[in-house]
Amino acid sequence: MLEWVITLGFVGCLGLSGGVFVHFVKSGLNLEDSSRIDPLPEIEE
């Protein structure tokens, strides 16, 4: 029983730390800002 509690706690901590990492990487990259500064060229047909 104790092994399952330790395993689930470890998986939960990994998920939480991974979520925090992804959140701060996405906020650091700021994808909307890059398209505002250097917009894609408009293709004329």
The string of pLDDT tens digits covering residues 11-26 is 999 999 999 999 999 8
Distance separating alpha carbons of residues 14 and 6, to the nearest angstrom: 12
The mean pLDDT value for 35-41 works out to 72
Average pLDDT taken over every residue of the chain: 87
Q: Which range marks the domain in which residue 16 is found?
A: 1-26
* Domain presence at residue 20: yes
* Domain presence at residue 32: no
**pTM of the prediction?**
0.59
Please give the tally of structural domains in the chain: 1
* Domain presence at residue 36: no
Element of type H or E holding 13? helix 2-29
